């Protein structure tokens, strides 16, 4: 028998419609949203005008990168912070690392870690919460800064010229779909053999065989990564190199101008990725820490947290975070940018976001006015209820400080190409930063003493489903 007490009452539906049509504002809003879409209809020009694209502190970056149809934002943002340092160390006008190189090794490492996690949970039911979490995305694209650091430590870095993008790095869906299917087949076989009495040593030997198939899938999809490569870069020529004499007159004995590029060159032959990283990248990826701002009662501030089953490189260990109050979080960000270093950060990029126009700002996306209802979640509630978890990583390359030295807007470098935002850059209001930015990567030298001391404390272990932060894609 149907339980009509749970149904939407017809008389109430009639009343809802009557009330809706009685309010002229609803009709105007409906016309705008239906024809232009919710975000266009909710865009407030006053909010945009309050966020000019000039910043009191701004870092000069290279050309805008584009992750295309892939979930590699965390990798792009990480490499964008490092290329800035490399460019300015060596005087290069532009530079881009190979994202595909780390993508290849990340896929290999995640596949290995997934199978190792299967081996460590052989007696867990397949429909149990833990195994479901492990099995959700065996080798998906998403990640955190620490995953990036673990890959760099093990495999180094290469310039994009040595290992360019491929069709499957730019659009990874099919590649990852069939790889994940194969990994789950391997998992099923491992569990079946365990049920039939196979030893752990035998199972791990089988896993090693399975990884040969993983390598083949990766190599076919992306091409094999270089073991050694040649590197050529030209140093920028900003000083005009004696085009003029001291009195401003052109020297008579100057050589005639030609089309030849006379800039100094940096050349390397047969360099390995690890050698390249150690020689040319003036950043030790281990000298940075992940700060979180997660204001939840059951995630107290000023503690170190570790999330189980989150490693990509199995031997490197799971992801760790220091949860700090907002004032500590923001001061570290301002101090690092002020010192001339960009910042990797993670956020919920879908909230109050104008992708094409390039704004992250609640006052520019007035969905409250459009729908006639307030959106009242605070940061803690948004995280607890899964409404605004971190889902995207980008790079902070500027900040504007007011007359009191307080930030009021931030410059954001994205990895969605130059056709999104203002030539690839976005502006985020400080209020949006407070509400939706959950992670920043900070050099340890810009941590206060109390926060730095937390790095040596015993971490609180969290299960992978417990709210703190999510992989960025």
Walk along the chain (473 residues) and give the pLDDT tens digit of each residue. 678 899 999 999 999 999 999 999 999 999 999 999 999 999 999 999 999 999 999 999 999 999 999 999 999 999 999 999 999 999 999 999 999 999 999 999 999 999 999 999 999 999 999 999 999 999 999 999 999 999 999 999 999 999 999 999 999 999 999 999 999 999 999 999 999 999 999 999 999 999 999 999 999 999 999 999 999 999 997 654 444 444 555 555 566 678 899 999 999 999 999 999 999 999 999 999 999 999 999 999 999 999 999 999 999 999 999 999 999 999 999 999 999 999 999 999 999 999 999 999 999 999 999 999 999 999 999 999 999 999 999 999 999 999 999 999 999 999 999 999 999 999 999 999 999 999 999 999 999 999 999 999 999 999 999 978 899 98
Please list the active-site residues.
Answer: 73, 392, 414
Q: Which residues make up the CATH 3.90.70.10 domain(s) of the chain? A: 57-227+280-462
In contact, 468 and 462? CB cutoff 8 Å: yes
Does the domain spanning 57-227+280-462 belong to CATH 3.40.50.300?
no
| Rounded to 5°, angle at Cα 58 from 451 and 233 | 100
**In angstroms, how far is the first alpha carbon of the chain from the final one?**
46
The number of beta carbons lying within 10 Å of the beta carbon of residue 274 is: 14
Q: Model-level pTM?
A: 0.94
């Amino acid at each position: 028998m149907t339980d009509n007490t749970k149904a939407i009452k017809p008389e109430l539906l009639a009343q809802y419609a009557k009330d809706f049509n009685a309010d002229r504002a609803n009709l105007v809003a409906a016309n705008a949203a239906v024809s232009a879409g919710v975000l266009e209809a909710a865009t407030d020009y006053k909010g945009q005008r309050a966020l000019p694209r000039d910043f009191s502190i701004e870092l000069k970056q290279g050309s805008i990168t584009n992750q295309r149809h892939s979930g590699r934002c965390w990798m792009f943002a990480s490499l964008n912070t490092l290329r800035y340092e490399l460019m300015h160390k060596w005087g290069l006008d532009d530079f881009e690392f190979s994202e595909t190189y780390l993508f290849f090794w990340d896929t290999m490492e995640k596949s290995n870690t997934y199978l190792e996690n299967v081996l460590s949970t052989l007696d867990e039911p397949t429909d149990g919460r833990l195994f479901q979490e492990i099995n959700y995305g065996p080798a998906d694209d998403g990640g955190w800064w620490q995953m990036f650091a673990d890959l760099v430590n093990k495999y180094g870095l290469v310039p994009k010229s040595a290992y360019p993008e491929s069709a499957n790095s730019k659009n990874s869906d099919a590649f990852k779909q069939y790889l994940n299917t194969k990994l789950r087949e391997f998992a099923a076989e491992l569990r079946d053999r365990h049920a039939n009495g196979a030893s752990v040593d035998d199972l791990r030997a089988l896993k090693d065989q399975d990884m040969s198939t993983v390598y083949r899938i990766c190599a076919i999809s992306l091409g094999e990564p270089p073991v050694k490569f040649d590197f050529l870069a030209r140093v920028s020529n900003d000083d005009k190199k004696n085009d003029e004499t001291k009195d401003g007159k052109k020297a008579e004995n100057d050589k005639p101008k030609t089309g030849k590029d006379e800039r100094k060159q940096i050349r390397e032959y047969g360099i390995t990725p690890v050698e390249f990283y150690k020689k040319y990248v003036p950043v030790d990826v281990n000298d940075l820490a992940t700060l979180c701002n997660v204001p939840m009662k059951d995630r107290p501030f000023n503690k170190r947290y570790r999330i189980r089953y989150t490693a990509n490189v199995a031997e490197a260990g799971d992801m760790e975070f220091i949860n700090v109050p907002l004032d500590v979080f923001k001061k570290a960000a301002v101090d690092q940018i002020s010192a001339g270093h960009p910042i990797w950060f993670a956020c919920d990029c879908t909230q109050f976001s104008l992708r094409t126009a390039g704004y992250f700002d609640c006052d520019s996306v007035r969905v409250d006015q459009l729908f006639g209802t307030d959106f009242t979640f605070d940061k803690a509630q948004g995280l607890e209820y899964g409404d605004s978890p971190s889902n995207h990583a980008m790079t902070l390359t500027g900040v504007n400080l007011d007359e009191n030295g307080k930030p009021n807007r931030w410059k954001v470098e994205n990895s969605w190409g130059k056709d999104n935002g203002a030539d690839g850059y976005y502006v985020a209001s400080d209020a949006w930063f407070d509400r939706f930015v959950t992670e920043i990567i900070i050099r340890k030298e810009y941590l206060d003493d109390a926060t730095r001391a937390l790095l040596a404390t015993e971490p609180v272990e969290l299960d992978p489903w417990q709210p703190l932060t999510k992989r960025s894609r």
